[in-house]
Amino acid sequence: MSKALRAALARASDTRDAAVGRGVLASAGQRLANVLGRGPYLIVADENTMGAAGQELIASLTDAGCSLVEPLVFPGRPALYASYDHCLTIGQRMGSATVVALGSGTLNDLCKLASHEHGRPYAVVGTAASMDGYTGFGAPMESDGVKITRPCPAPAVAVLDLDVIAAAPGFLTASGYGDLAAKIPGGADWILADVTGVEPIDADVWAMVQGGVASALSRPADLAAGDPDAFAGLVEGLALSGLAMQAYAGTRPASGAEHYFSHLWELAHLGADLDPPLSHGFKVAIGSLAMCGFYTALLDRDLGAIDLERAAATRTPWAEIEADIRGTFTGALADNAVRETRAKYAAGDELVARLRPVVEDWPAVSSRLAQQLVSGPELADMLATAGAPSRPEDIGLSADDVRGTFPRAMYYRSRYTALDVAWELGLFDELVDETFDRIWV
């Protein structure tokens, strides 16, 4: 176990043991027995993940003296969607057993939420480097037309075998690469939230996520080639991201506005009819490129020259904003966006006080942001080399589709991001236009 992983486990609220390495699947049974007892265990998988590692997992559990019930195996096609009804299916089969999720994103989230609702811990054996939620707190789930992250504990044990993961289809690795790349603009959003005092950075949690991101993203060609040794940084980076969410008891360390693009496209079922369906990480990759472009436009401005009092005086009244939100969204999604946006809305003296640190210290703030970010072309090249989408057309969107998502992403969640800073300064529309007319072409 690396020093970084050991330190992250020490701060984790739920995960007591995690293994990342080649051949660690053989130790899964003993690890589960040490932390969770000897069962009974219910393995929850789909046909693909059961074929990839099911027999090895069963053998490891049996060798450790653990008892098992009949596995719950979902069809391999169509791919599972993070819909609450699947949680209910798992809950109905659980009985007195402890769940072991054998799979990646959706399977892990479904098992996580189902186990929480039955008041018991669970474990995960990962089969692909497809996302950072293996060790994460909470489960993104769609219900009643809104996708939200439901609070629920992370796995007590996580086993991530690099040999199994490297053998997964390449699009899954590319998805995880896109999800980890999101930590670049997501980290910049946290910097702005820190500077404004909206959400100060936890230095230890920041280091868990950001300390190894550059290294983890440094071998896209080797990852695309399926080299197991190249997966160590990526998989550990994804695991550390999840552990950071545990330590922080929230998703801020791992995501910013770029994730809201993905969530909105997921709610619109973008690419759900494809085989395989468009992954979360693929959509996040395009959201990350959009935000890197937006940041380029922001950093090109001299925010130090802005008249804060004038910006506050011309701030759109809340009633007009709510009307715009309800014209942008419909139904439950509109109600959700109103609640979320109202929670971060500021005007008058409160707005001036929030933005003053950004404006008065813009040279230092912009330098800090520039050190965190990479350019859009550089990120696009990294993503393309890893096999991930690098332009909107790669996920079936046009530039205008992405442009139209910007205001929806700003309204979608209360988390404070660069979109909010630009909105509060009266620059939002101008910067979106620059992103598409000058920067991201």
Mean pLDDT of 169-185: 95
What's the pLDDT at 276? 83
pLDDT band at 321 (very low <50, low <70, confident <90, very high): very high
Average pLDDT over residues 45-68: 97
How does pLDDT run across 351-387, given as a tens digit for each residue?
A: 999 999 999 999 999 999 999 999 999 999 999 999 9
**How far is CA 22 from each of CA 60, 84, 104, rounded to the nearest angstrom?**
15, 34, 17
**pTM summary value:** 0.90
Please state whether 386 falls in left (phi above 0), alpha (psi between -120 and 50) or beta. Answer: alpha
Task: Give the model confidence (pLDDT) of 5-25 as tens digits.
Answer: 998 999 999 999 999 999 999
Residues with Cβ within 8 Å of residue 369, at least 6 apart in sequence: 188, 191, 192, 295, 298, 299
The amino acid at residue 240 is L
Query: Residue 160: in which H helix or E strand, if any?
Result: strand 157-161
Tens digit of each residue's pLDDT (9 = 90 or more) over 282-315: 999 999 999 999 999 999 999 999 999 999 999 9
Question: What is the share, in percent, of the chain residues with pLDDT greater than 70?
Answer: 99
Residue-level pLDDT at 274: 87
Closest to 156 (Cα-Cα) out of 327, 239, 32? 32
Measure CA of the first residue to CA of the last residue in the chain; give whole Å.
44
Query: Please, what are the domains in the chain?
Result: 3-168 (3.40.50.1970), 176-197+256-440 (no CATH)
Q: How far apart are CA 26 and CA 359, in angstroms?
A: 55
Q: What is the pLDDT of residue 83?
A: 80
Q: What is the pLDDT of residues 416-439, one digit of tens each?
A: 999 999 999 999 999 999 999 999
Q: How far is residue 441's CA from residue 425's CA, in Å, rounded to a whole number?
A: 25
Q: Tell me the CA distances in angstroms from 151 to 119, 163, 206, 384, one per residue in order.
A: 13, 31, 21, 34
Please state, in angstroms and rounded to a whole number, the distance separating the CA atoms of residues 165 and 156.
Answer: 20
pLDDT in tens, 190-229: 999 999 999 999 999 999 999 989 889 999 999 999 999 8
Give residue 83's Cα distance to chain centre.
Answer: 17
Helix axes 183-195, 348-360, angle to 10 degrees: 120
What's the mean per-residue pLDDT of the chain? 94
Q: What is the pLDDT of residue 36?
A: 98
| DSSP codes of every residue in 176-211 | HHHHHHTHHHHHHHHHHHHHTTSS---HHHHHHHHT
Structure tokens belonging to residue 132: 């950072």
Measured between alpha carbons, how far is 35 from 61 in angstroms, rounded to an integer? Answer: 13
pLDDT at 268 over 80: yes
Tokens of 368: 């800090």
73-84 pLDDT, tens digit per residue, is: 999 887 777 788
**AA identity, residue 175:** S
Element (DSSP H or E) covering residue 98: strand 98-103
Beta strands 157-161 and 98-103 are: unpaired
For residue range 103-135, list pLDDT tens digits in order.
988 899 999 999 999 999 999 999 999 988 889
Report percent pLDDT > 90 for the chain. Answer: 84
- Comparing CA positions, the residue from 429, 441, 430 lying closest to residue 398 is 441
pLDDT in the model for residue 148: 72
Q: Which long-range contacts (CB under 8 A, 24 or more apart) does 327-336 make?
A: 328/407, 328/408, 328/411, 329/408, 329/411, 331/145, 332/144, 332/145, 332/146, 333/145, 333/146, 333/267, 336/146, 336/148, 336/412
Alpha-carbon distance of 42 to 81, in angstroms, equals 20
Residue 146 — pLDDT band, cuts 50, 70, 90?
low
Per-residue DSSP letters for 279-332? PHHHHHHHHHHHHHHHHHHHHTS-GGG--HHHHHHTPPPHHHHHHHHHHH--HH
